[in-house]
Structure formats: C-alpha cells, structure tokens
Chain A
Amino acid sequence: MAVVLAAAVDETVVDQLSLTTDVNPVIDVRGAIKRYGEGDASIFALAGVDLKIMPGEYVAIMGPSGSGKSTLMNIIGALDIMTKGEYFLDGIEINSMDESALAVVRGRKIGFIFQSFNLIARTTALANVELPMAYQGIKKDERRRRALKALEVVGLAGRVNHEPTELSGGQQQRVAVARALATRPALLLADEPTGALDSKSTADLLDLFDQINAAGRTVVVITHEDDVAARAKRVVRMRDGKIISDSLNEGRAA
C-alpha cells in the first residue's frame, strides 16, 4: 500500500498513516480514472488518483478549475462513478453499487455542504434538517430531537421555523451544515462552502468546521481559496486530474 501511495504522497503523511494502520480509512480511492467521451476526443478528468483519508482528518482539496477536484468530490460523495479504479467509503466498496444503493450510502455516510446551500425552497430550516433522516426512516420524535440539536450546534436555535428566503446566506449555509451533521455521517463533504458567502460568514463557517473537526468528525473541503485551505490540517493540491502535492498544514496539524 505504501508503495502505491509513495509516488504522490508526502513522506510525513505516509508516516502518519503507518502509525494508524489498525484504523479503517474513511476514504480510500485507488487508481481513480474518470474519462469523459470516447476515443481521441476523450478527456481525462481524473488521470489516476490515489487518496486515503483517515477518520478525524480535516482535509482541503485544492486546485484551479478543470483540475478535477469537482470530479473527485462527486466520486468521493458517491454522486458519480469512476471509469476505472477502486473506491472504499468507510470500508464499503462503492464502485460496483447501483443507483439506489448509492442513495442509501449517501444518506448514511456523507453529509453534503454545497456552494449554493441547496436547501429545499419554501421549507423551514427544521424540516430541511429533518429531511435526510426522514429518508433514512428515523422516527419523527428522534428526528426532531436530533434536528433541533444540530441547529443549536450551528447557532440557529432561534430560527428553526424560518424558510430559506428568510435567512441570510451564512445562516442558510449553517442550516446546510446542521442538515449534514444530523445524520451523524462518517464524512462531512463540503464543495466550495464559502464560495457564496461574505468574509464574516466565511469566518463563522470555518470556525464551525474547526469545532466540528475538533469533536472528531472527518471533514473534507473542496476549495480554491487559500484562506479556506489554510484552516485545514492537510492540503491536497490537484492539477490536470492528478494530485500534485499532499502535505500537512504547518501549525494546524495536531
């Protein structure tokens, strides 16, 4: 395993990984290739990516647009399937699953946070947070309790009955974080979470991520902003469908 990773992964990470071999990685992507189109016209969005993320890590995946980071995010998030390669999410092989099994995995293992919040319109914050749990078949009382708790954690206890249009962008994004947290996922996956936020809301959200990670939750943030990446403990940089660097963040890594 170390041999496979060695080519792309910084020495220190390998050291850290070797210390925790008894723990299953949350994300284990091996030789991921994603190709769009056929023949000469085909484009490699991912040209052989290996990535391993352990529980409790806080990882930022960076890269310019077209670097393949969004494709990688879709694959990690079980929203898309790679052309070739292997992917284990929390020990489960994802690549061979059908669409309905993927939906279940998404619901149980991953909490998504999107750039454009993606809350259901004309639906209260509470109902939005309850929604993924409803699809998992969690009982109403339990659902309500967990949703209220999650909204409290993100600091929106007083706005549970507000609809998305009645909330600011920062507040909407925190509802989305609450929604992602309430299902107790193995992984919090955020795609450009601060892209639509002002600097104050960005700072608040990143504080929230720190807090969530400090509580032991694995956080993966896809971003192209350096100040966002600076808050992560590990930074993975991509270019042209490949990982070009993978390093621990000085001062942030515990």
Chain B
Amino acid sequence: MEIIRFAMRGLTTNKLRTTLTTLGIAIGVASVIILIAVGNGSSKQIQASIDKLGTNTITINSTRGGFGRRTAASGSSSKPLTVSDAVALSSPINAPDIKQAAPITSASGTCTVGTSTTTPGTFYGTWPSWFEASNTTIQKGTYFTNDDVVQGRHVAVIGATTATDLFGTDNPIGQVMRCSGIPFTIIGETSVKGSNGFQDGDSLVVSPLTAVQRSLTGYNSLSSIVVEAKSAKVQDLAQTEINTIMDAQHRIKSVAKRDYRTLNQASLLATSNSNSSVFTVLLGVVAAISLLVGGIGITNIMLVTVIERTREIGIRKAIGAPKAAILSQFLIEATILSLVGGGIGVLFGYIGSNFKIIGIQPVIVPASVLLAFGVSVLIGLFFGSYPASRAASLRPIEALRYE
C-alpha cells in the first residue's frame, strides 16, 4: 500500500510528463479499438448490402463454354439452361422448398434517350418473379406482369443510376429509351439498392424475358436462373431439390459431369467476410504498432525518471528500502501510467467510434477493447521492468554521490 502511494507521488511530481506518456498509450489503445471497429463496420456494411440483394436466393449458371466445353467433349451431352429448366424448378411438387424461379437472359448494350446515354451494369430479360427473388422493389411506377412476358411487350423497369443518367431529375415513367437500338417504354423505377462492393446495384435495366430474347439475345440459352428458397432455413433443402431437378432435366449421371453450377448468398457472404477480415487484421496491426510505440514511450520516460531520481533512490536505499520495494515502486508507476492511458484510450475509442470514418460506421468489437486494454497494461509491465530493475540495482553509495 505504502509503495503505491510512493508511486503515485512519483507520478504527480511531474504532471506534464506523466500526461504526455499517458496520452501516448491512450492514442495507441484508442486507435486499436477504433481501427478494428472500422474494419468490423465495413464488414457489417458489406454484409448488409449483400443481404439487400436477397439472402434466400440461389443463382444457377451454366458451365457451358470456357472450360465447360471440355466437359462436353469428354462425352456427356452438355445442355444450356433453358426456360423449361426454370419451369421445372417452379414445380411445387418436385420442389416444395422453392418459392419461385426466374430465368434470366443477360443483354449488354448502351441505352439512349435523345443525347443522354448510359451503359447499364445489369441488363436482364426475365420473369416478374425475379423482382421478389432478387429482393428488388419499385419506388415509382409498376412492375411488369406475366402478361407482358407472354405478349413480349417492350417495357422496362430501370434502376436509379440509369434513371439519373438518362433523365436527370425528370420523371422517367412513360418515357421511351433505346437500348442497342430497340425501344423500351419505361414503366417503373426500382428502390435504391446501393453498391454491394463489387458493382452498382442501381445501374439496372430489367425487361420481360421474351422481349429481350426476341430483339437482343435470341431464344437459345439463358444466362442464369435465379431461385428463391422459401426461407433461409430451407436453403440447403432447396439446393438439393435444384440439383435433383437440374440433373433430371439435363440427364446428368454423376456430380462431376454437371453442366451447371449453383451460387448461393451464403458463399458470397463467406467470401466477402474473409476479405474484410484481412482488412480488419491489417488495420489492427497498424494500430498495434502505435500501441508498441506508446510502450517504448513508457520505457523512455521511466528511464529518464530513474536517472533524474537516482539520488532519491540512493536515499531510499540508505534508509533501508530493499531492492524489491524500489523495483515495485517503479513497476507500479509504469503500470499506473499504462492503466490510466489504457482507460482513457478505451474512452476515446468509444467516443471515436460514434463518428463515421471514410464513410464507414465503426462497430466496436468488445474483444478488441479487452485486448487493447490488456495489452497496454502488459506493455506497462514489460517496458517498465527494465528501468525499474535499473533503479533497483543502483548501489546506494553511487546513487547518493550522484548529483
């Protein structure tokens, strides 16, 4: 107890130096907490935007073309994805866990209205069920209907980016745009989706499947089929049903010879999470270095303190202070520095995490708070122990002679 009082007195003797050292540790701890929170926040943000794309959806792509050719060459008959596949997947009997399926044909091209042009990142021909399967809603106008698909009407729903590019602030509903020369009447505008980190979800043109196939992509094959499971829970069951139905449709005998592949949001999430955890670790390392620098600051200050107080140490030893008492006094001083610094750092961390940083809302990871605080205290002990042992092993006769 007495030693703690000695240590406190040692610290309060030079307040400016104590404050600066504490600040060094505080900045280290705060930056660990905030940077890890930024990393975590960005990962949460990516996850949220992937959630927006629809969490229950499974996308089926053909593996024909590219390396898929080789599968065909090796003897099996490789078939493209067709509308009949989508119809089969929509069967409530064979696929009880699938809510709906939507065939997609993907077109590309530039859309123009007068002198304004835009190249939509996504240009789909599909069924109305696509909207629900892909979690896309309309903020202005209407969806197209099954009747539009049957009739092959040249109508389109566009995304916010496309609307702004073509019409600025004007209302696009009822206007006509030409995509690769083909006229489409705009009947709806989708709600803002934002970016999923890879592409702008609002650079979008969606039209009835038949209209796009007839005028742009042809009837031969689909680009993909989007399937919506009844809930996230039955996604695995839905996946199994997809495989069963698709294997039957394409007469596939073994898994290795499948001419299609499925991609669900879960695997997308996993990929993006692993990306953002790399990001988080990098930020954490940068922050940890600043914590280390703070620790070296403690060593430096404690060494100066020991030299400055050489005479005092000599007096204490002359009047009977054992080595352990001197050692613990200086260790406690270093630990108090890092404890207080760590505490202030945690406070700064919590305050700092309330502000958006480079457009990311930080989300504090509780473990990082404990880690940063714990490490700062350990650093105090570790970096404080060298100056403390120097102080403790000073010979009283030399320390007393020191001026």
A interface list, Cβ under 8 A from B: 74, 77, 79-80, 99-100, 103-104, 106-108, 112, 114, 118-123, 131-132, 134-136, 179, 183
Contact = CB atoms under 8 A, between A and B. Distances in A.
Interface stretch (B216-224, B312-320, B347-355): B312-320
A118 B322 contact: no
Contacts of B324: 100
B396 A79 contact: yes
B9 A106 contact: no
B400 A134 contact: no
Interface of B: 2, 9, 13, 311-312, 314-325, 395-397, 400
A246 B316 CA distance: 33
A107 B319 contact: yes
A135 B325 contact: yes
B34 to A, nearest CB: 38
User: What 7 pairs across the A-B complex have the smallest Cβ distances?
Assistant: A107-B320, A132-B319, A103-B322, A79-B397, A134-B2, A118-B315, A135-B321
Contact of A135 (B320, B396, B397): B320
B316 A106 contact: no
A120 B318 CA distance: 12
Contacts of B320: 103-104, 106-108, 132, 135-136, 183
Nearest to B325: A135
A120 B322 contact: no
Contacts of B400: 79, 114, 118
A107 to B, nearest CB: 2
Nearest to A103: B322
Given A74-B397, A80-B397, A131 B319 contact: yes
A146 to B, nearest CB: 14
Contacts of B13: 121-122
Contacts of A123: 9
B332 to A, nearest CB: 15
Contacts of A100: 322-324
Contacts of B395: 99
Given A106-B396, A131-B319, 5 more contacts: A79-B397, A108-B320, A118-B314, A119-B315, A135-B319
Contacts of A103: 317, 320-323
9 contacts: A99-B395, A103-B317, A104-B320, A106-B396, A118-B314, A120-B316, A123-B9, A179-B319, A183-B320
A142 B312 CA distance: 25
Given A79-B397, A103-B317, A122-B13, A135 B312 contact: no
| Among A74, A108, A118, A183: residue with most chain B CB under 10 A | A118
A230 B320 CA distance: 31
Nearest to A75: B397
A118 B314 CA distance: 9
Given A123-B9, A135-B325, A118 B318 contact: yes
Nearest to B318: A112
| Among A103, A108, A114: residue with most chain B CB under 10 A | A103
Given A79-B396, A79-B397, A114-B400, A121 B312 contact: yes
A188 to B, nearest CB: 13
A132 B396 CA distance: 15
A83 to B, nearest CB: 14
Contact of A112 (B2, B312, B319): B319
Contacts of A104: 320, 322
A132 B318 CA distance: 9
A120 B312 contact: yes
Contacts of B311: 118
B132 to A, nearest CB: 76
A206 to B, nearest CB: 23
B327 to A, nearest CB: 11
A79 B2 CA distance: 24
B9 A122 contact: yes
Contacts of B314: 118
A179 B319 CA distance: 9
Nearest to B2: A134
A99 B319 CA distance: 13
Contacts of B397: 74, 79-80
Nearest to B322: A103
Nearest to B317: A103
Contacts of A122: 9, 13
